Chains A and B, each alone.
Chain A
Amino acid sequence: MDPNYQHLYDALSKVEGYIYPNEIGLNWGILIVLYPYITGLVAGAFILASLNRVFKVKALRPIYEISLLTSFSFLCVATMPLIAHLGQPLRFYEMMITPHLTSAMAIFAFVYLWYLMAVLLLEIWFDYRKDMVIWSGEKKGVLRLIYKVLTLGVYDTSPKSVAVDERLGYIITVVGIPSAFLLHGYVGFIFGSLKANPWWSSVIMPVVFLFSAMVSGIALVLFIYMIISWIRKQKLDMKCLDSIGKFLFYILIFDFVLELLDTVHRVYTAEESFDIISILMTKLFFTLTIGQLLLGTFIPLLVLGYFQFSKPKDAIRKASYFIISILVLGGIFCMRWNVVIGGQLFSKSFMGFTTYKARLLGAEGLLSSIVIMIIPCLILAALLWLLPPWKKKNMEAY
């Protein structure tokens, strides 16, 4: 067969039923799955930090800085999947210099910038300012210079000055909570407001995204805290772990109930898209039924629920928390996958399906996605080396 038609026949072999020509290939691939996933991790980790700072959950103190630094590391790469996805990646800055005020996508750049500059950076700076002043006196060479630059030349560590840091840090966290809600609610809004797509178009989408963000962020900090303690050969604070587990449990319930509400609403209203969506849900068996529901929701809910009534031995709880953190992280990734990829698998004619297979290489391939997920881990490692929470003056007990 002529090679010109070979690709058409190959493409048609991936299609079922009736589908419009521009729906055969997916426009949004794995990178766009990563975008809400990473942003969710940022918002979730920050909200966990605020539980300690604003809501005075003392048991969470050991992970306060880790949560902030995790949130910051992932925020640094949150736009990378989007930029890599752009046809003209080098023009990304045009979104900022020629802001399009009626485009939800374009305004995300400013929501992002607000969260990065006005919330996370400031909160970390106020939290570490006194320690950076102390370290700039203790260290030598380049490190000393770095700390000096980071202090912005403010060397005052008097109790009065530290109290100002404390107070301003508190105010920023209070502002940060709605900002974190805005950041991730906004990602949900971008999908939820696409009225052409019945799988996305839902008023509840921003809230579902927000709660799933909290779930994934908490699971990530739980995972990172355990890994860091293991690397540092430090004893895990079981009170802290149990407390994270408790919040993970509650928020997972909220998240599950909200998604259930969305599903029940779809089933009861049974709009014209209902038939295709019910078939879609069977097509997403591995990522929806197994990944998101069974591994990512039911098993963690059962185990965490059990821990609320009974406390098995520390070793069992530690191992369980570790496994649960991985399961939840995987589950939320599956959720993002189901939303982004699932929403493009069915035809807007509601009469057919296409398929998606992630490529390995290329800007939008699996490898670049893995790299984008590794970069924040490296940034976090560098930040933990530069700003070790365990060397802070008020943290030596941990």
Chain B
Amino acid sequence: MPQQVTRLLIVFAVFIGMFLVAAAFLKPASFGEYGHYRGNAIKEIAAKEIKFVDRKSCANCHNDNSDALAGAEHALINCQTCHGPGYKHNQWFEQNKSRFMRQDPASGIWTVDTILVRAAKDIPEEYKLLKPNERDACLKCHAINAARREKVVRQIDVTDHYDVKKKCVECHPPHAPNS
């Protein structure tokens, strides 16, 4: 074999060897555990702090609002779309649950008294949810936008709809805007 070919083969072998060594070191340990990705990524994501809750958790205490929502135009919108992530808020309730339990005198069953829960004034700031009632909150969805279908989302031109200084919620109750 000519000398230059032998030398090139050695150089290529060294290069490929270096590549394989580098690949062995750089390849994440859990890669390919389940599929073409890092297996640990799933555990890392699962270990993240939970932020959201399901609708039922909200309805446990806020049943008047969930009742108003049912059948209204906003029925398909999740509570947390407007009020923000609810997990922490729900945690506060779970931690203080004993305060809000009441026994039904007739049946003797213990249930959560939603009136007591909602009357609670000592909920710390970091556990509170958003209560957006400014014009901007509604305009996130209802500002005119060519990419939205009018028949799916009603849209208004923010600059000239009624009195621009008034809040939307003064005329349109947010849980049942068409009521």
Residues of A whose CB lies within 8 Å of any CB of B are: 1-2, 4-5, 8, 12, 15, 17-21, 23-24, 93-94, 96-98, 100, 117, 122, 125-126, 129, 152-154, 156, 161, 164-165, 168, 352
User: Can you offer 10 A-B residue contacts whose CB atoms are under 8 A?
Assistant: A5-B139, A8-B143, A18-B147, A19-B146, A97-B22, A126-B4, A152-B11, A154-B4, A161-B2, A168-B4
Number of A-B residue pairs with CB-CB distance less than 8 Å in the complex they form: 66
Interface size class of B (residues with CB under 8 A): 20 to 34
Choose from B12, B31, B145 the contact partner of A8 (Cβ within 8 Å): B145
Q: How far is the CA of A1 from the CA of B159 in the complex (A)?
A: 8
Is B3 located at the chain interface by the 8 A CB criterion?
A: yes
Q: How far is the CA of A96 from the CA of B7 in the complex (A)?
A: 25
4 further contact pairs, Cβ within 8 A, besides A98-B36, A154-B3, A168-B5: A100-B36, A156-B4, A164-B4, A352-B146
Q: How far is the CA of A1 from the CA of B143 in the complex (A)?
A: 12
Choose from B4, B23, B36, B145 the contact partner of A129 (Cβ within 8 Å): B4
Choose from A96, A125, A156 the contact partner of B23 (Cβ within 8 Å): A96
Interface pair A161/B3, CB less than 8 Å apart: yes
Q: Smallest CB–CB gap between A394 and chain B, Å?
A: 18
Find chain A residues with CB under 8 A from B145 CB. Answer: 8, 12, 21
Is B158 located at the chain interface by the 8 A CB criterion?
A: yes
Is B67 located at the chain interface by the 8 A CB criterion?
A: no
Q: Given the interface contacts A20-B147, A21-B147, does A5 sit within 8 Å of B136 by beta carbon? A: yes
Q: How far is the CA of A136 from the CA of B146 in the complex (A)?
A: 68
Q: Smallest CB–CB gap between A150 and chain B, Å?
A: 11
| A97, A129, A156: residue with the most chain B Cβ atoms closer than 10 Å | A97
Interface pair B27/A164, CB less than 8 Å apart: no
Find chain B residues with CB under 8 A from A153 CB. Answer: 7
Choose from A17, A93, A126 the contact partner of B146 (Cβ within 8 Å): A17
Find chain A residues with CB under 8 A from B143 CB. Answer: 5, 8
| Nearest-neighbor residue (CB-CB) of B10 within chain A | A152
Q: Given the interface contacts A5-B139, A5-B158, A97-B22, does A15 sit within 8 Å of B147 by beta carbon? A: yes
Residues of B whose CB lies within 8 Å of any CB of A are: 2-5, 7-8, 11-12, 15, 19, 22-23, 26-27, 31-32, 36, 136, 139, 143, 145-148, 158-159
Interface pair A152/B26, CB less than 8 Å apart: no
Choose from B4, B26, B36, B159 the contact partner of A93 (Cβ within 8 Å): B26
| Nearest-neighbor residue (CB-CB) of A93 within chain B | B26
Interface pair B4/A1, CB less than 8 Å apart: no
Interface pair B3/A15, CB less than 8 Å apart: no
Interface pair B7/A12, CB less than 8 Å apart: no
Find chain A residues with CB under 8 A from B31 CB. Answer: 98
